[in-house]
């Protein structure tokens, strides 16, 4: 019996004025139902490309994706995407932004009353029921992202795809959103694939951390299984040797096995490792 989500032999090539650019080469990844997977790696390692292929936005040049025994060849409601930018429609309220997705998926299977109840339920999941009648311009960045997650969850996706969902938030809001995601995933048992540049976030949230090699022709370098009990408490884990061991393994891969040094970079600037490790932040892709 195969995995719930199987990424098999995926190559991705893009045409450029200078010829074909191979972004991904022979990417293989098996994901079980209910797992939380983080993708991490240096700039240009194809993390977003992998996510877009699973979403059905891109078609792999070779290989493909099988979800629950069905080939993925186009976008579908069973795969919802949450971007770093919340992508809310500014002229619609929080309620109406979620309603848009619900109508698209459930207009033939739910009555108006059922849809209303379902919209409110998903806003309650992200603790945004108090602001359902507010426009995006009237709420904070973290609240907008909560609405974006509610909209994605309202589609009842089998797979939740998240492209740096908390990257633009301040540290405190980010921590609250991470805790909310863990709570929601525990309740719904969604399969989650998330791109992150934050090593601590990857270890805190994930069942597996997929570390990508440098591009071009990027592929899966290592897969780290994070065997930490759930529910997870960030304050307790900060003192955990096991947690810090996982964190060190990811940092070692990023800064030793897959160090990316820019051309003409001085020796002094190329080796700022202690500061980077202390901050437990990975260099941003964008």
* In the chain, where the domains are located: 33-51+160-286, 85-156
Cα–Cα distance measured from residue 13 to residue 21, given in angstroms and rounded to the nearest whole number: 5
Nearest to 212 by CA among 72, 82, 29: 29
Q: Which residue has the higher pLDDT, 170 or 120?
A: 120
What is d(CA 163, CA 98) in angstroms, rounded to the nearest whole number? Answer: 19
State pLDDT tens for residues 225-237: 999 999 999 999 9
8-61 pLDDT, tens digit per residue, is: 999 999 999 989 999 999 999 999 999 999 999 988 889 999 999 999 999 999
Asked if the model's pLDDT at residue 91 lies above 90, the reply is: yes
Q: What is the mean pLDDT of residues 83-92?
A: 87
CATH class given for the domain over 33-51+160-286: alpha beta
* Residue 84 confidence (pLDDT): 78
To the nearest whole number, what is the mean pLDDT of the chain?
88
């Amino acid at each position: 019996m195969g995995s719930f989500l199987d990424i098999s032999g995926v190559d991705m090539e893009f045409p450029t004025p200078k010829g074909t650019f191979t972004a991904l080469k022979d990417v293989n990844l098996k994901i079980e139902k209910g797992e939380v997977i983080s993708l991490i790696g240096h700039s240009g390692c194809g993390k977003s490309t992998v996510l877009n292929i699973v979403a059905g936005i891109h078609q792999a040049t070779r290989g493909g994706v099988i979800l629950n025994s069905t080939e993925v060849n186009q976008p579908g409601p069973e795969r919802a995407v949450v971007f770093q930018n919340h992508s809310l429609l500014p002229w619609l309220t929080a309620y109406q932004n979620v309603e848009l997705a619900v109508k698209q998926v459930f207009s033939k299977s739910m009555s108006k009353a059922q849809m209303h109840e379902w919209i409110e339920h998903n806003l309650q999941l992200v603790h945004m029921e108090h602001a359902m009648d507010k426009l995006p311009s009237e709420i904070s960045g973290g609240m907008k992202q909560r609405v974006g997650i509610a909209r994605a969850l309202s589609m009842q996706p089998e797979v939740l795809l998240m492209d740096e969902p908390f990257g633009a938030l301040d540290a405190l809001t980010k921590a609250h959103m991470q805790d909310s995601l863990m709570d929601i995933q525990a309740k719904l048992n969604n399969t989650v694939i998330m791109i992150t540049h934050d090593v601590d976030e990857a270890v805190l949230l994930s069942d597996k951390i997929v570390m990508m090699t440098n591009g071009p022709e990027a592929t899966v370098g290592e897969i780290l299984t994070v065997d930490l009990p759930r529910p997870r408490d960030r304050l307790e884990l900060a003192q955990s040797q096991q947690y810090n061991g996982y964190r060190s393994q990811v940092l070692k891969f990023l800064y030793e096995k897959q160090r990316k040094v820019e051309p003409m970079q001085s020796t002094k600037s190329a080796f700022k490792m202690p500061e980077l490790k202390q901050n437990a932040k990975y260099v941003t892709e964008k």
